[in-house]
Structure 1
Amino acid sequence: MSYQLQQLAKKITELSGITVEIVGDPTTNIDKISTIDKAGSKDITFLANAKYKKHLENCSAGAVILAESELDAWSGSALVMSNPYVGFAVVAQVLDNTPQQPMNIHPSAVVSSTAKVSKNCSIAANAVVEDDAVIGENVQIGAGCFVGRGTMLGDNSRVWPNTTIYHGVTLGKNCTVHSNSVIGADGFGYAPQSIDGDQHWIKIPQLGGVTIGDNTEIGASTTIDRGAIDDTVIGQGVIIDNQIQIGHNVSIGDYTAIAAGTMIAGSTKIGRNVTIGGVCAISGHLTIVDKAFITGRSFVMKDIKEVGVYSSGMPATTNKEWRNNTARYRKLTELFDRVKKLENK
């Protein structure tokens, strides 16, 4: 479907609140979004990073989304705004061509007679919806999904194929859960008991659930454990990348972003607007303040009480340099003791 440039400008303002100035022909027809180097006359592209400005000279796009400060490098039609990247995001939503499921229940789906399923929803082949589940309006449940007893899926949410959502989970409105994720599995809860010299582990049934706020997106193959007594809670507007482990009774504040491969141990409380880079490890029973920024591969072992950027780990370097640094690191205690003796003389 084509949109005129003036229609896209209106959409950007409606959805983001950012004023957009149209430069050139407002009736320019746009079919799709593309990169600067591949865009054609029916495409729109964007410039959000000044280092790509040089590519505008040879760009053939029908229009470009850019900031006023970059307008001197472009002579064609444009949408000029203070945050071109947000403009790109909104236009991408408008032009999104992701396939949608038909709004019906596939004959092979198994839906309990006690489940409350809206008339306008989609349940694909081989999906299972158990007793007392509640499926909201315009919900799409992909092929092979499992929705457990008493679980609630909010309006306009989408669960991609082969996802498992256990019993007693609440998923808010306008949420997305990508394939192979598991929400509501048992948390890692065991009581140690010594028996005849061996350490035995006594299972603690996980009696809580998982509550996920509106407008949250959960990446593929991510696991969110249910609470031991109270629920594990994910706020609204949270974005969770692929292959992330969230332990039982973790609480994640609104609009927090977590990149792939991160592991969060049980009962940790993460504030609002926190950014957590990829492959981080966060110990249990910690508190992380609102708006903290944790860079990738960090290991968080104590509370973060002040806003700031936090890092750990060692960036990649040549193998030779890494081996030399490792050898020196192993001698730090010896070096410290030698310096201490010199200071005491």
Structure 2
Amino acid sequence: MSVALRELHAAFGGVLHGAMDRAVARLAPLAAAGEDALSFVAHPRYRTALAASRAGVVIAPPALVADVLGRADPPPGGWACWECPDPYLTFARLTQWWREHVQPRPRRAGVHPTAWVDSSAQVHPSASIGPHAVIEAQAVVEAQVDIGPHAVVEARARVGAGTRLGPGVVIGYDCVIGARGIVHGGTIIGADGFGFAPAPLPDGTGREWIKIEQLGAVRIGDDVEIGANCCIDRGALGDTVLEDGVKLDNLIQIGHNVHVGRHTAMAGCVGIAGSARIGAFCTLGGGAIVLGHLELADHVHISAASVVMRSILQPGQYSGIFPIDDNRAWEKNAATLRQLHALRERLKALERRTT
């Protein structure tokens, strides 16, 4: 199926230049795009890739319109440029339109014959319950929900309207996810948090661990996307909370009683320890770690593989990687490192005096 460029432009606005009557058969990256494809370029540093691209239509900022139209060896009718102030954002919205209008996901309302739904559960007639899925007692599945194969919605849990659960997803008992969410396969929401109290063994040889029952739940807002194989633990007494618009990549661990503010995004393999509080509009790079009971203010950005060991109360970009060592030596080195800049300035001052 192909779509007229003018139809796409009518949906999203912007300014068309060049071969405005082109049709678009697919969306593609610059390097792989052919003359039937639409791609985008957002920054002048990609001029070389743009010059080599065969994309028939390119979404570009005003500064790159001439580069798009001036590429060598144009096809019959020439190149087309779709000028937008934010090409990346326009392309993102275009992918959503394309999914809905050109490549919709197959969907069938109803309960698959192999699924099991408790008689006390509330499942909206427009919801889709996939093969071997389980909906337990008093669970609520709202309108237009898609529940994938082998997914489980445990007792008294609620899945908001239009939310999709991938294969093998578990929504634990009493947990809630809001509307229009996406949870990719293998993710567990509402597993027990890691809470144990040490107790001496009767023979005095050591200690054992006594489980602290996790009595809270998980509350997830609207428009949240959670990647594959993530674990979001229920709270020990209160709830673990992810506010509206949070985006999590794959393989992320959210500990018990963590609170994540709205529209915060985390890349793969991030770990947030229990009772940490992450503000709104934050980003955490891949593999970053936030230790327990710490707080990050709104608009804090943590670089990949950094370890946050203290609360950060001012917005900004923060980075920090420090080699593992014997703890006593590590503490001394860390304390010295914090004085490194001051020591450098003192050394430079001494050098100036002696020269």
For normalisation by structure 2, the TM-score amounts to: 0.84
Q: Distance in 1 between matches of 2:252 and 2:37?
A: 35
**Structure 1: any 5+ residue segments left out of the alignment?**
14-19, 316-328
Q: Quick one: which of 168, 173, 178 aligns to 1:167?
A: 173
Q: Which residue of 2 aligns with 1:224?
A: 232
Q: Which residue of 2 aligns with 1:8?
A: 8
1:235 aligns with 2:243: yes
**Structure 2: any 5+ residue segments left out of the alignment?**
70-78, 324-329, 338-342, 344-349, 351-355
Alignment RMSD: 2.4
Query: Amino acid of the residue matched to residue 102 of structure 1?
Result: R
Q: 1:27: how far off?
A: 4.1
Q: Which residue of 1 aligns with 2:96?
A: 93
Aligned length: 318
Q: Which residue of 2 aligns with 1:311?
A: 319
Contact 1:31 1:95 in 2 (8 A): no
Local SS of the residue matching 1:233: strand
Q: Distance in 2 between matches of 1:38 and 1:135?
A: 41
Contact 1:164 1:182 in 2 (8 A): yes
Query: Amino acid of the residue matched to residue 224 of structure 2?
Result: T
Q: Which residue of 1 aligns with 2:198?
A: 192
Contact 1:46 1:65 in 2 (8 A): yes
Local SS of the residue matching 1:10: helix
Kindly, what percent of the aligned residue pairs are identical? 36
Q: Quick one: which of 58, 65, 69 aligns to 1:64?
A: 58
Per-residue deviation, residues 143-194 of structure 1 (Å, max 9, x unmatched): 0111100111111110010111111111111100001110000001122222
Q: Quick one: which of 137, 140, 146 aligns to 1:134?
A: 140
Q: Distance in 2 between matches of 1:261 and 1:252?
A: 16
Per-residue deviation, residues 51-107 of structure 1 (Å, max 9, x unmatched): 222233343323110001001112221211111111111111122236333222110
Q: Which residue of 2 aligns with 1:80?
A: 83
Q: 1:38: how far off?
A: 2.3
Q: 1:39: how far off?
A: 1.7
Q: Quick one: which of 159, 162, 174 aligns to 1:153?
A: 159
Q: Distance in 2 between matches of 1:302 and 1:331?
A: 16
Contact 1:105 1:123 in 2 (8 A): yes
Q: 1:230: how far off?
A: 1.1
Q: Identify which range, 30-39 or 1-10, moves more after superposition.
A: 1-10
1:203 aligns with 2:211: yes
Local SS of the residue matching 1:95: helix
Q: 1:135 to 1:62 in 2, by over 3 A?
A: same
Q: Quick one: which of 188, 209, 213 aligns to 1:182?
A: 188
Q: Distance in 2 between matches of 1:109 and 1:284?
A: 39
Q: Distance in 2 between matches of 1:98 and 1:286?
A: 42
Q: Which residue of 2 aligns with 1:325?
A: none
Q: 1:137: how far off?
A: 1.1
Q: Distance in 2 between matches of 1:210 and 1:253?
A: 14
Q: 1:314: how far off?
A: 5.9
Q: Distance in 2 between matches of 1:258 and 1:212?
A: 15
Q: 1:77 to 1:168 in 2, by over 3 A?
A: same
Q: 1:36: how far off?
A: 1.6
Query: Amino acid of the residue matched to residue 229 of structure 2?
Result: S
Per-residue deviation, residues 289-324 of structure 1 (Å, max 9, x unmatched): 100111011111111111121111169xxxxxxxxx
Q: Quick one: which of 41, 48, 52 aligns to 2:35?
A: 41
Q: Identify which range, 233-242 or 56-65, moves more after superposition.
A: 56-65
Q: Distance in 2 between matches of 1:311 and 1:185?
A: 31
Q: Which residue of 2 aligns with 1:271?
A: 279
